[in-house]
Amino acid sequence: MKRYTLILIAGLLIASCDSLIDVQPQSDISTETFFRTPAQIDQAILGAYGYLQTLYSGTDWNGAFVMLEMRSDNTTYQFNVDNRGALHAEQIDEFREQSENVVLQFFWQTSYQGIYQTNVILDRIESVNYGNNTALKDQHIGEAKFLRAFNYFNLVRLFGGVPLKLHEIKTPSEVYAEGRASVDEVYAQILSDVQDAVQKLPWTYPAEQAGRATKGAALMLLAEVHMTRQNFSEARAALEQIVSAGIYELLPDYAEVFNPASKNHPESIFEIQYSNNYEGEEADWIFQFAPFNSGCALMQGPCQGSRQYAWNIPTRDIIEAYEPGDLRKDVSIGWYEDPSNVQYDVAIGDSIPYVKKFAWPFNALNRTNENWPVYRYAETLLLLAEALNEEGRTAEAEPYLNAVRARAGLAPLTGLSQEEFRQAVWHEQRVELAFENKRWFQLLRTGRALDVMRAHGEQMRQISERMARENAYQIEPYRLLYPIPLREVILNNLEQNPGY
């Protein structure tokens, strides 16, 4: 897929610096001169994808992994007594965040920026002349609706009911939210958008456009929505369409799934595109995830003068979750060994674990080349196995689970009861998709977040005198939703989530 070109429309967001959707104009383009050709619509679509880049990578310590992975029992952070500037990310890990937390504000604001971009596209596209190329028009509508649904799906799971903005903002009065839509209303809109995207998107694109949302990506989003809503038969139907299409397959080598030299491979259904060929388009995962005291020891490229942030440090719990002989463990988790590490509470002996699956060679300081996987075929198979089991069809589910286990070098599981299979497939999802921003959502949709995280919190307080002293991980039911960012509560008069 070519470089994301951010096309933001100026002149529409009068007073937007105080609004729900705080988009700063990037050019002198206006709606009066833009959105006249399919090529311009395409540029705007690429801009909408660009917000996913921003959302997932963040700026040093507010990427999506903080709210989606560090929130769970999979990862934590290495406490740095000499750098206390990222306290808000630490608070999310320890369930101590409040509504003024800037990580929450960043996620909310960036998501709504992406939503706003798609709203403008969808409102303007009917006036654009596509000639006889209805397939391209359908593709553009499908991409915009997929991206809008994806952003709203993230928001509703993290915050509950949220403002439902579906049209272009043309006047200052339209900037402000009209309250929060209910959870059911948000899900109804998500389903409407994603179902239309399924109908309109193609299965594949030419190689130079790889990375755009496809019918497979829309079906995965549809299936995940149904799984979250406990609509297992509808989820199964969507997942079976992906399998029967015959387009996707498991790569033989788990490590190759994450190799930037193999981007958009046959296992990939949707991944967020990054490139170190363009300024501002690069990833930097190893710099964010390496222990802060590791220097250049873990780097596979230029690192002199670089800084490591030590986020997303694997917990003892995820390390112990891998079965003996699981080939995925050494691909996913690496170790920084140094005698001085014993002073850090995340160390095991003299070694600190780090997320290794996103650590690959690079050729420029702070600029790496890994995409971020959102949907892959392994997840399709595991969700299909789960859905079938929930329908009472456990024997039919076994081959899908065991296909993923076989690649990991593990023996097949057979003859399990429904409950035994349920636990097995949840475990398999955890280790197969570890550190890919899936765990917190999985805990929420399966109803296990409170029990799992309370047990995890107890373990963390036993490991860390600092966390015990600070009484971290005091997890009450209301904390299964994040607080609405304080800025939005004040400026848009939004009702705050209970407990905050």
User: H or E segment at 333?
Assistant: strand 333-337
**Burial per residue of 163-176, b for 16 or more beta-carbon CB atoms within 10 angstroms, e otherwise:** bbbeebbeeeeebb
pLDDT score for 31? 63
pLDDT score for 29? 57
Q: Is residue 275 part of a domain?
A: no
pLDDT score for 123? 97
Residue 207 has pLDDT above 60, yes or no: yes
Pick from 348, 370, 392: which residue ends a domain?
A: 370
Torsion sign across C-alpha atoms 204, 205, 208, 212 = negative
What integer is the mean pLDDT of 309-331? Answer: 98
What integer is the mean pLDDT of 177-186? Answer: 94
Does residue 451 share a domain with residue 356?
A: no
Does residue 366 share a domain with residue 451?
A: no
pLDDT band of residue 153 (cuts 50, 70, 90) is very high
pLDDT tens column, 350-399? 999 999 999 999 999 999 999 999 999 999 999 999 999 999 999 999 99
Nearest of 368, 143, 147, 374 to residue 271 by alpha carbon: 374
pLDDT tens column, 359-370? 999 999 999 999
Residue 32 has pLDDT above 70, yes or no: no
What integer is the mean pLDDT of 489-493? Answer: 93
pLDDT score for 83? 84
Using alpha carbons, list the distances in angstroms from residue 401 to 79, 306, 378, 433: 37, 41, 9, 13
Residue 237 has pLDDT above 80, yes or no: yes
What integer is the mean pLDDT of 456-485? Answer: 96
- Residue corresponding to tokens 């497939």: 425
The CATH number assigned to the domain holding 42 equals 1.25.40.390
pLDDT tens column, 119-128? 999 999 999 9
Structure-token pair, residue 414: 């057979």
pLDDT score for 9? 41
Nearest of 242, 196, 199 to residue 220 by alpha carbon: 242
pLDDT band of residue 174 (cuts 50, 70, 90) is confident
C-alpha count within 13 angstroms, C-beta hemisphere, residue 32: 4
Structure-token pair, residue 206: 């030419």
User: H or E segment at 76?
Assistant: strand 75-76
Residue 189 has pLDDT above 50, yes or no: yes
The residues, any chain, with a CB within 8 Å of residue 436's CB and separated by 6 or more, are 69, 372, 373
Does residue 452 share a domain with residue 362?
A: no
Does residue 131 share a domain with residue 25?
A: yes
Does residue 309 share a domain with residue 160?
A: no
Q: Across the chain, what does the average pLDDT equal?
A: 93
pLDDT score for 20? 39
Q: Is residue 313 part of a domain?
A: yes
Cα gap 93→76, rounded to integer Å: 6
State what percent of residues in the chain have pLDDT above 70. 94
Does residue 190 share a domain with residue 74?
A: yes
pLDDT score for 59? 82
Q: Is residue 492 part of a domain?
A: yes
Structure-token pair, residue 363: 């050729």
Cα gap 162→156, rounded to integer Å: 6
- Cα 243–Cα 245–Cα 250 angle in degrees, nearest 5: 50
> Residue type for 95, please?
F
State what percent of residues in the chain have pLDDT above 90. 88
pLDDT score for 437? 98
pLDDT band of residue 16 (cuts 50, 70, 90) is very low
pLDDT band of residue 196 (cuts 50, 70, 90) is very high
Q: For the chain, how big is the Rg over CA atoms in Å?
A: 22
Q: Is residue 474 part of a domain?
A: yes
Q: Is residue 222 part of a domain?
A: no
pLDDT tens column, 239-265? 999 999 999 999 999 999 999 999 999
pLDDT score for 30? 63
The distance of Cα 303 from the centroid of its chain, to the nearest Å, equals 27
Pick from 370, 386, 413: which residue ends a domain?
A: 370
Q: Is residue 334 part of a domain?
A: yes
User: H or E segment at 486?
Assistant: helix 486-492
Pairing state between β 372-376 and 333-337: unpaired
Pairing state between β 313-314 and 75-76: antiparallel
Residue 278 has pLDDT above 90, yes or no: no
Residue 10 has pLDDT above 60, yes or no: no
- Residue corresponding to tokens 């193609």: 202
Q: Is residue 299 part of a domain?
A: yes
Q: Is residue 357 part of a domain?
A: yes
Q: Which residue has the higher pLDDT, 122 or 173?
A: 122
Q: Please say whether the beta carbons of 374 and 268 come within 8 A.
A: no
Nearest of 451, 448, 446, 445 to residue 475 by alpha carbon: 451
pLDDT band of residue 26 (cuts 50, 70, 90) is very low
Which range of residues forms the domain containing residue 83? 1-201+447-500
Cα gap 206→469, rounded to integer Å: 56
Cα gap 23→111, rounded to integer Å: 11
Residue 414 has pLDDT above 90, yes or no: yes
Does residue 157 share a domain with residue 52?
A: yes
Pick from 301, 336, 370: which residue ends a domain?
A: 370
Torsion sign across C-alpha atoms 70, 68, 228, 248 = negative
Q: Please say whether the beta carbons of 100 and 486 come within 8 A.
A: yes
* Overall domain count for the chain: 2
